[in-house]
Amino acid sequence: MPDPALSEAIREAYASAPADEVILHTLELWHPAFTAPIRVVRDSVAMDARIEAGAARDAGQIVPFVAYAFDVKPPEQTTTGVPQCVIEIDNVARDILAQIDLAVASAEPVTVIYRAYLDHDLASGPENDPPLEMTISAISATAFRIRATAGFPDLLNLRFPALDYDLERFPGLASS
């Protein structure tokens, strides 16, 4: 079943694999401690591309993506547990390592956003809208590589309803 978040152009590129059509994979890492989002493209050349209009940061703006070698190992298909993927970014710069160190020291999670672009149409936005957004559950960084495990929220173990019924908000609970 086709993914409805993908544009018609990228579905065609995936299906026919034309030699002149290059799909550029990007990641955005965000944490409240970061001075700016970390945006990388899996390519040998940096690029400027438009972020979707509904983005939390720089909505609708053309932003730079730094060229890095990275790999995303997709989650295994399983009937148990929450699907998680592994992200590895090689040869990381010091400024990125400094931001990762700030995030690790905080209790807030790091968010990673995956976007796919077609190389001839960077100004119109990503081909997957809305982009895939995950939360990093574990991260390690060395001078040579960042390795992170990312996944989706664990919706199965959320409380429902999420309200606490107390006397302050629900005075009718007390008997007179």
Sequential DSSP letters for 97-140: HHHHHHHHTSSSPEEEEEEEEETT-GGG--SBSSPEEEEEEEEE
Question: Is position 106 within any domain?
Answer: yes
Distance CA 167, CA 174 (A): 7
Give φ, ψ of 118 to 5 degrees: -95, 135
Is there a cis peptide before residue 130, judged by omega within 30 degrees of 0? Answer: yes
Question: Is position 75 within any domain?
Answer: yes
**Total structural domains in the chain?**
1
Question: Is position 11 within any domain?
Answer: no
Is residue 134 within 8 Å of residue 150, measured between CB atoms?
yes
- pLDDT for res 80: 67
Question: Is position 121 within any domain?
Answer: yes
pTM for the whole structure: 0.76
Distance CA 140, CA 127 (A): 30
Question: Is position 14 within any domain?
Answer: no
Question: Is position 80 within any domain?
Answer: yes
- pLDDT for res 21: 78
Domain residues for 66? 21-173
- Residues in the chain, pLDDT under 50: 1
Question: Is position 13 within any domain?
Answer: no
- pLDDT for res 1: 42
Is residue 111 within 8 Å of residue 136, measured between CB atoms?
yes
Residue whose pair of structure tokens reads 């972020």 in the numeric block: 51
